[in-house]
Structure 1
């Protein structure tokens, strides 16, 4: 089955300021992900080493397709230049989730390093839609096909066995 490259996803605007800041959109014709905005009422300071903060995106989605999901990813420049990363590394949005998307933001700078200040309307993360494969699982006593790979966590070529 080939996934539909342009599936319909319903978008609900929960914060009307997005109409001024810009609705989620691809920033270039070849962009893979949509930018998400910080829908906060005042600037938010993330201190280094402090717990991650949930930041509202101002949108909700309904994909309604078991073969579609969305990933909330950090924006590369913010992570590299300022130290802003996602508190959960990657956020997974299931096709049946319809509440507001929240971004878990965390300042990865070391203690004593710079704080990160997020402004209302700032683009803080990106949303990538991905196809989902939902295989049927079959319990077996032994695998039906051989594999030369065993072990894990760096076991290929490092001399470390699982």
Structure 2
């Protein structure tokens, strides 16, 4: 499968790394900030950070999912405002990352900083059907901890 990236900024490939798999076993490609000036994210605030990229997923059964980078989460308390970003196969706009600072101190995002990872996974569009009764299971309607710790 091929995903095509379009450079929206001349910085991509120069001062901003192109999307890449950090290791042979990486599930996602790292994406970096493409900014003119350092962005400061105050604690409990979020910012939309551009990547200088747009992309084309050429398969309607694939979705791009944007996840936080675990090292940034661990060291700096950085996560994504929307938990996981969803890039539909028919979206062609700019790839921007909603970064949230959950840490106690302001965080700087500089040009070229790796800020998120993008994972491509298969999806299914299902038929939606309304019914009067759902099939019974052993679990039933138990949720939120009903299966134990």
TM exceeding 0.5: yes
TM-superposed CA distance for 1:95, in Å, is 0.7
Structure 1 residue ranges (4+ consecutive) displaced by more than 3 angstroms after TM superposition: none
Given the alignment of the two structures, is residue 156 of structure 1 paired with residue 140 of structure 2, yes or no? Answer: no
TM-superposed CA distance for 1:12, in Å, is 0.8
The equivalent of 2:102 in structure 1 is 108
| Post-superposition CA distance 1:52-104 (Å, at most 9, x none) | 10001111111132210011110100110011111111101111111011100
Distance in 2, matches of 1:148 and 1:90, equals: 31
TM-superposed CA distance for 1:107, in Å, is 0.8
The equivalent of 1:42 in structure 2 is 37
The equivalent of 1:23 in structure 2 is 18
In the alignment, structure 2 segments of 5+ residues that lack a partner are none
TM-superposed CA distance for 1:153, in Å, is 1.6
The equivalent of 2:114 in structure 1 is 123
Distance in 2, matches of 1:28 and 1:71, equals: 19
In the alignment, structure 1 segments of 5+ residues that lack a partner are 1-6
Instruction: Indicate the structure with greater strand content.
Output: 2
The equivalent of 2:81 in structure 1 is 87
Which residue of the other structure, out of 47, 62, 82, is the alignment partner of 1:53?
A: 47
Normalised to the residue count of structure 1, the TM-score between the two structures is 0.84
Given the alignment of the two structures, is residue 146 of structure 1 paired with residue 136 of structure 2, yes or no? Answer: yes
Choose 133-142 or 92-101, whichever is displaced more.
133-142
Which residue of the other structure, out of 70, 74, 86, is the alignment partner of 2:64?
A: 70
**Secondary structure of residue in 1 paired with 2:82:** coil
Q: CA RMSD in A?
A: 1.5
Distance in 1, matches of 2:58 and 2:90, equals: 6
- Alignment length (residue pairs): 147
